[in-house]
Amino acid sequence: MRDKRLHRTLVYTVINALKDIFNEGEYADKVVSRALKSDKRFGSRDRKFVAETIYEMVRWKRLYNEIAGTKNHYTTENLWKNFAVYAVLKGYDIPDWKQLQDVPARKIKGKFDELSKIRVFRESIPDWLDEMGEKELKEDWDPEIHALNQQAKVILRVNTLKTTNERLQKLLQEEGIETVSIKGYPDALELVERKNVFMTDIFKKGFFEVQDASSQLVAQFLDVKPGMRVVDTCAGAGGKTLHLASLMENKGNIIALDIYESKLKQLKIRAKRDGAHNIDIRPITSTKVIKKLKEKADRVLIDAPCSGIGVLKRNPDSKWKLQPEFIENIKKTQAEILDKYSQIVKTGGKMVYATCSVLPSENEEQVAKFLENHPDFKLVDENKVSAHKSGYDGFYMALLEKQS
């Protein structure tokens, strides 16, 4: 049974972390990482409480604000009021601390029941996002945003260059980490219970990567074969690039491009750890990099920049950082990227356009516009992965073929 007592040091750590996220605009994942290192005495249960409480309070920020009446002002006193709401709703025993005196538990529960009837509070989202989601997804928006508010599961991708699913499961079990395989996701293992897998020797040896199940569908969708020339145009730190390398059995050539050299440096480190030797890393420093590749690739992956609405499970703070103007601008960027990078595909070659968004305006509508302007391409297949149907991140992918 879960311990219902609150521990002062842990709660102070949470409050200080929330100040950095809400008042300084820092990213939740960076703040959580720092908070977990702040006290060497933290055990695994302490770390779990700190990480989960910070993420939950970020996720339900608007709801807790409304219940506590703190009006989006994050003074220390108000953060304690918000924390009191969290503690009551999660069923913790309220300790006799000066910051938590006279917590109105009944009032909190009553207000929660009342606000649960209104979607923007129930799902704790900005008004504009609710309006946009409903306009684009109609009746699917309600179950989708609800699913995107659940805590993300931890999914591993087996690095088949070094091991098999069965062997990795056994090795993890020896470390006290239980996993289950997922039907329809050949390289995925799901953790039964959240654990810090990055500290294991098997991770350091490159036997697996942490990658959501939906994200693992993208590289497979590109239909790569060993020996091909593949270009990953927005490779970033290379989660999908590394998956492509294992699907290609290290044969052929993957050119990993990105405008951010710092991300490609991370890919270089990961590729070495994973034993992926067929990746050629090239930062996009000028238009020449793309021109040199014109009509040279058998396969092209465009993992396009997007709103990231499909990955709110793991980035709950992006609900509060996102703005409608950003989404409008990113759509223009997506169209430009599609136009520019499609030139790399050779006749008879294929390209995947993918996003971690669930909005049709970033997905199928972008592809439809592209096809109108590029009659030499045809749509072969598309996969719309919704969070409420899959239980994983929301994703979109379209497979396009260049015809003569």
Q: Give yes or no: residues 256 and 397 share one domain.
A: yes
CA 282 to CA 259: how far, in whole Å?
9
Number of domains in the chain: 3
CB contact at 8 A, 374 and 342: yes
Per DSSP, helices labelled H in 313-382 are 318-321, 324-341, 364-373
Residue 21 host element (H or E): helix 8-24
- For residue 182, is it left (φ>0), alpha (ψ between -120 and 50) or beta? beta
**Residue 398: φ, ψ to 5°:** -125, 130
* pLDDT of res. 2: 59
Q: Give yes or no: residues 68 and 118 share one domain.
A: yes
Of 14, 125, 132, 356, catalytic? 356
* pLDDT of res. 44: 87
In a domain, 137, yes or no: no
CB contact at 8 A, 257 and 326: no
In a domain, 358, yes or no: yes
Q: Assign residue 248 the CATH number of its domain.
A: 3.40.50.150
Q: Residue 150 to residues 145, 170, 200: CA-CA distances in angstroms? A: 9, 29, 27
Q: Give yes or no: residues 339 and 194 share one domain.
A: no
CA 91 to CA 122: how far, in whole Å?
18
CA 274 to CA 252: how far, in whole Å?
17
Spans of the chain, pLDDT less than 50: 1
Which of these three, 172, 188, 210, is where a domain ends?
210
HEC readout, 43-96: CHHHHHHHHHHHHHHHHCHHHHHHHHCCCCCCCHHHHHHHHHHHHHHCCCCCCC
Q: Give yes or no: residues 333 and 347 share one domain.
A: yes
Contacts of 210 by beta carbon, 8 Å cutoff, 6+ apart = 154, 155, 156, 157, 197, 198
In a domain, 43, yes or no: yes
Q: Give yes or no: residues 222 and 362 share one domain.
A: yes
* pLDDT of res. 97: 96
Residue 141 host element (H or E): helix 141-148
Q: Give yes or no: residues 185 and 239 share one domain.
A: no
Which of these three, 192, 210, 228, is where a domain ends?
210
Q: Give yes or no: residues 260 and 220 share one domain.
A: yes
The residue assigned the tokens 């810090």 is: 196
* pLDDT of res. 1: 45
CA 16 to CA 33: how far, in whole Å?
13
Neighbours of 321 (CB within 10 A): 12
In a domain, 135, yes or no: no
Q: Give yes or no: residues 237 and 342 share one domain.
A: yes
In a domain, 140, yes or no: no
CA 253 to CA 227: how far, in whole Å?
7
Identify whether 356 is a catalytic site residue. yes
Q: Give yes or no: residues 264 and 164 share one domain.
A: no
Beta-sheet strand order (sheet of 155-158)? 179-182, 185-191, 155-158, 208-210
Task: Enter the tokens of residue 101.
Answer: 């005196």
- Condensed to tens digits (0 to 9), the pLDDT of residues 274-316 reads 999 999 999 999 999 999 999 999 999 999 999 999 999 999 9
Q: Give yes or no: residues 355 and 368 share one domain.
A: yes
* pLDDT of res. 217: 98
CA 240 to CA 404: how far, in whole Å?
28
In a domain, 44, yes or no: yes
Contacts of 89 by beta carbon, 8 Å cutoff, 6+ apart = 108, 109, 112
In a domain, 132, yes or no: no
Q: Give yes or no: residues 386 and 244 share one domain.
A: yes
Residue 250 sits in which domain range? 214-402
Q: Give yes or no: residues 220 and 337 share one domain.
A: yes
- Orientation angle between helical segments 8-24 and 76-89, nearest 10 degrees: 120
| Three-state SS at 339 | helix
CB contact at 8 A, 213 and 311: no
Q: pTM score, two decimals? A: 0.94
